[in-house]
């Protein structure tokens, strides 16, 4: 009897084993909490980064161009379109002042945007028509083989002002990859995420800062309103041989206007706008090295024929500005050169308006 009681007491005094299930559950809750905290911090950082990029992009040239496009007067009769050559070279005030019929110059606006391609130019023009603009004249400035070259729209291409394509993804996709649903989805998704669509905005500021740091204690690089003057030498062909091959390939292959240019021409035709292609003025070096070649003469004749077939005018103005002091770099006119060129362009276009089927030669 005593033995039984002692055994019973021992049993009662034996400590209970730890609740391993409860410990595991507590650890799991802690890990889950840490995960959600980390996820929340990551999401907050992403939201903040996107907000910063979106804010930075508001001051970008493409955003300002888009905003200006919304404010273009409805009575605009002449539109200048193209890249920075047109942006710098077409002075609307000088154009109006030089119009032969005083007081009857068409109200003009310059919608050109630097560092862009015919795809972005098409998007700008289409948006202008959607807003109700009905210009009588469309002046499209270009240089070299820009009218025939197919434009790529890959991830690495659509940065800087070319990110303008993300504002109109469906239309841009039709030019980069006709009929591709995947391309349209890619552009639409990217366009909805500022850190992707506007990714170049922040890095542009960083690059400018890096360049300023590089110049500390060193001679400063010459700059103009578009950036470093040296950078624009890269716009030219690498050498005469490669330039001639490009020209010959277009002529011998009977290559027409690129898809984007054809769409620009189609838009102009649909809205009763007279299309005028203009070889933009080039400094003497570019004319002597590249445009003096027989290959360019053949390409120019080919372009004139393409323009004529589409009912457009062609103005060969590359040699209009003879003084190299009127250029601020290897391709862009300065303010003085722009006034001179725009005045002569007004006189030429006024004659084309009177004889719309003419092809203006140099």
- Residue 114 zone, left/alpha/beta (φ > 0; ψ -120 to 50; rest): beta
* 122, 283, 296, 321 from 288: Cα distances, Å: 31, 9, 11, 13
Name the β-bridge partners of 333. Answer: 327
Measured distance CA(139)–CA(122) in Å, rounded: 13
pLDDT at 18: 58
Q: State the Cα–Cα distance between residues 205 and 210, nearest whole angstrom.
A: 9
Which pLDDT belongs to residue 356?
A: 47
Q: Sort strands 227-228 and 223-224 into parallel, antiparallel or unpaired.
A: antiparallel
What confidence score (pLDDT) does residue 229 get?
44
Burial 96-130 (b: 16+ CB within 10 A, else e): bebbeeeeebbebbbbbbbbbbbbbbbbbbebbbe
Q: Which residues contact 227 (CB under 8 A, 6 or more apart)?
A: none
pTM: 0.82
Q: Alpha carbon of 295 to those of 28, 194, 242: distances in Å?
A: 74, 44, 11
Per-residue pLDDT of the chain (362 residues; tens, 9 = 90+): 555 555 555 555 556 565 555 667 777 787 788 877 777 777 777 666 567 666 666 777 888 999 999 999 999 999 999 999 999 999 999 999 999 987 889 999 999 999 999 999 999 999 999 999 999 999 999 999 999 999 999 999 999 899 999 999 999 999 999 999 999 999 999 999 888 888 876 655 555 556 566 656 655 655 555 555 455 445 677 899 999 999 999 999 999 999 999 999 999 999 999 999 999 999 999 999 999 999 999 999 999 999 999 999 999 999 999 999 999 998 999 999 999 999 999 999 999 865 544 444 44
């Amino acid at each position: 009897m005593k033995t039984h009681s002692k055994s019973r007491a021992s049993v009662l005094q034996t400590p209970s084993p730890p609740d391993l299930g409860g410990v595991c559950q507590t650890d799991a809750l802690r890990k889950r909490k840490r995960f959600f905290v980390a996820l929340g911090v990551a999401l907050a950082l992403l939201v903040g980064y996107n907000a910063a990029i979106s804010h930075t992009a508001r001051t970008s040239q493409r955003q300002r161009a888009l905003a200006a496009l919304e404010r273009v007067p409805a009575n605009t009769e002449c539109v200048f379109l193209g890249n920075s050559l047109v942006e710098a070279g077409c002075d609307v005030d000088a154009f109006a002042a030089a119009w032969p019929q005083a007081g009857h110059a068409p109200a003009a606006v310059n919608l050109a945007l630097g560092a862009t391609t015919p795809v972005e130019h098409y998007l700008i023009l289409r948006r202008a028509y959607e807003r109700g603009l009905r210009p009588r004249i469309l002046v499209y400035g270009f240089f070299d083989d820009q009218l025939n070259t197919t434009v790529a729209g890959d991830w690495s291409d659509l940065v800087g002002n070319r990110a303008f394509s993300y504002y109109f993804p469906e239309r841009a996709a039709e030019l980069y990859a006709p009929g591709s649903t995947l391309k349209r989805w890619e552009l639409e998704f990217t366009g909805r995420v500022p850190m992707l669509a506007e990714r170049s905005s922040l890095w542009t500021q960083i690059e400018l800062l890096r360049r300023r740091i590089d110049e500390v204690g060193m001679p400063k690089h010459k700059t103009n309103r578009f950036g470093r003057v040296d950078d624009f030498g890269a716009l030219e062909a690498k050498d005469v041989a490669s330039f001639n091959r490009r020209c010959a390939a277009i002529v011998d292959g009977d290559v027409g206007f690129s898809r984007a240019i054809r769409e620009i021409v189609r838009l102009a035709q649909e809205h009763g706008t007279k299309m005028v292609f203009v070889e933009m003025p080039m400094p003497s070096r570019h004319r002597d090295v590249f445009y003096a070649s027989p290959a360019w003469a053949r390409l120019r004749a080919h372009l004139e024929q393409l323009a004529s077939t589409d009912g457009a005018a062609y103005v060969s103005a590359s040699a209009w500005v003879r003084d190299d002091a009127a250029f601020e770099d290897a391709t862009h006119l300065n303010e003085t050169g722009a006034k001179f060129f725009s005045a002569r362009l007004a006189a030429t276009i006024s004659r084309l308006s009177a004889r719309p089927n003419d092809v203006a030669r140099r």
